[in-house]
């Protein structure tokens, strides 16, 4: 429907008035950014990590104000499109919009083309690598490969059965490379630290079909975690957005089982069941958010694809490190010491896990002896690796 300029202006003023309250002399300095989250803002995982980064931006960058829409997924908002939600955020004054799920790829691209004066960050696509993509669309992702290597290492240092389960979401290049990273970290601990035969390490991946449980659509992650433990696995590493694996591990532990789990995404995830938690690899979105929001505010924006890693001098520095690992109560003192040494090696390059010889799951060669994978090879990992059990398609 065609709208007059007067009608649009009135609608915009009304929306801003509701959002911001009474106007003041500093209102013109406000920088409103919008956040679209695939899950709830309090999921103790992926979406909460984004939400808390947005709140930190408000504290650290003067004039920044966040507006958000959570539960942006087909189950919670059936039939609602990303461009429709973006229109709503723009009508409320958003000058930059963040979409936090790979599932939003097409919608964010379309919205960026429809709103050329608004800046967009998509997490975790790679549109910005294409010269055909709009100049107002950039990509951001953390190198969680390192975090999952640490998680796999902690799991292997803890397991007594040599059987590790990996609770995976849906199958795509991102989730395959993260599961593979976890496996490589586990294998390194098993063979290089514990000096055990790699053939005696079992690493099984089960995919539920989405980033979190959708009843009637996905497999139930609680049941999958129970199946892992009931089949003899004593450590489960999670790659989904929510904490079911940890909750089940805690329940099993209270029943007398010697089990543990590693949740994912969010620094505070262990709080759900600290007795069973070996730690959590987590994203810190503040460094990436601040980079893009400052560039948008200062008119220095350029289209970028950023894949940010840990600040190796202090991986848990929330101002500078995009990827970190928070030790959990269930991780032994000896394992903590070995994990610190392993993390140092990842940082200084003395430990490089995506180095050949490595084969894919179908026995085809991924990396020859002495060959190191490029970022592109890791980003677009087509299969799980030899030694891993689970589907690659």
* pLDDT tens by residue, 35-70: 999 999 999 999 999 999 999 999 999 999 999 999
CA distance 344 to 337: 11
CA distance 335 to 246: 19
Q: What is the pLDDT of residues 297-335, one digit of tens each?
A: 999 999 999 999 999 999 999 999 999 999 999 999 999
* pLDDT of 345: 98
Q: For the chain, what percent of residues have pLDDT higher than 90?
A: 91
Kindly tell me if the per-residue pLDDT of 28 is higher than 50.
Answer: no
CA distance 259 to 276: 7
Asked whether the beta carbons of 285 and 322 are under 8 A apart, the reply is yes
Cβ within 8 Å of residue 384, ≥6 positions away: 176, 179, 180, 183, 205, 360, 361, 390, 392
* pLDDT of 206: 98
- Pairing outcome for strands 119-122 and 137-142: parallel
CA distance 107 to 111: 6
Residue ranges of domains in the chain: 30-142+285-308, 145-281+327-389
State the residue for tokens 């060959």.
371
Asked whether the beta carbons of 310 and 144 are under 8 A apart, the reply is no
Helix axes 173-188, 144-158, angle to 10 degrees: 40
The mean pLDDT value for 17-41 works out to: 67
Superfamily of domain 145-281+327-389: Response regulator (3.40.50.2300)
Instruction: Please provide the DSSP assignment of 155-180 as one string.
Output: HHHH-SSSEEEEEE-S-SHHHHHHHH
Is the domain spanning 30-142+285-308 CATH 1.10.3810.10? The answer is: no
Q: What is the pLDDT of residues 82-99, one digit of tens each?
A: 999 999 999 999 999 999
DSSP 350: S
Same fold, 30-142+285-308 and 145-281+327-389: yes
């Amino acid at each position: 429907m065609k709208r007059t300029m007067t009608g649009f202006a009135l609608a915009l003023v009304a929306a801003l008035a509701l959002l911001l309250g009474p106007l003041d002399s500093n209102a013109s300095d406000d920088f409103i950014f919008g956040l679209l989250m695939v899950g709830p803002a309090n999921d103790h995982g992926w979406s909460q990590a984004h939400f808390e980064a947005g709140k930190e931006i408000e504290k650290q960058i003067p004039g920044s104000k966040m507006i958000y829409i959570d539960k942006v997924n087909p189950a919670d908002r059936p039939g609602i499109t990303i461009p429709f939600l973006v229109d709503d955020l723009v009508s409320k004054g958003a000058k930059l919009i963040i979409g936090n799920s790979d599932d939003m790829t097409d919608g964010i691209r379309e919205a960026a083309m429809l709103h050329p004066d608004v800046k967009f960050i998509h997490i975790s696509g790679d549109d910005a690598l294409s010269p055909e993509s709009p100049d107002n669309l950039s990509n951001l992702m953390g190198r969680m490969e390192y975090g999952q290597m640490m998680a796999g290492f902690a799991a292997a240092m803890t397991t007594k059965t040599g059987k590790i389960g990996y609770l995976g979401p849906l199958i795509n290049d991102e989730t395959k490379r993260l599961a593979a990273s976890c496996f490589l970290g586990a294998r390194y601990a098993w063979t290089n630290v514990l000096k055990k035969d790699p053939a005696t390490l079992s690493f099984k991946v089960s995919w539920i079909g989405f980033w979190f449980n959708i009843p009637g659509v996905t497999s139930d992650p609680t049941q999958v975690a129970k199946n892992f433990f009931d089949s003899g696995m004593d450590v489960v590493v999670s790659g989904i957005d929510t904490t079911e694996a940890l909750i089940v591990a805690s329940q099993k532990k209270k029943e007398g089982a010697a089990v543990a789990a590693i949740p994912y995404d969010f620094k505070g995830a262990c709080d759900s069941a600290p007795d069973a938690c070996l730690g959590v690899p987590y994203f810190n979105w503040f460094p990436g958010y601040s980079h893009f929001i400052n560039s948008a505010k200062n008119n220095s924006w350029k289209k970028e694809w950023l894949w940010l890693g840990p600040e190796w001098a202090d991986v848990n520095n929330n101002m500078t490190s995009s990827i970190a690992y928070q030790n959990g109560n269930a991780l032994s003192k000896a394992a903590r010491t070995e994990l610190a040494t392993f993390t140092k090696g990842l940082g200084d390059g003395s430990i490089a896990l995506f180095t050949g010889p490595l084969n894919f799951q179908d026995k085809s060669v991924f990396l020859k002896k002495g060959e190191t994978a490029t970022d592109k090879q890791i980003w677009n990992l087509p299969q799980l690796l030899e030694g891993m059990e689970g589907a690659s398609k």
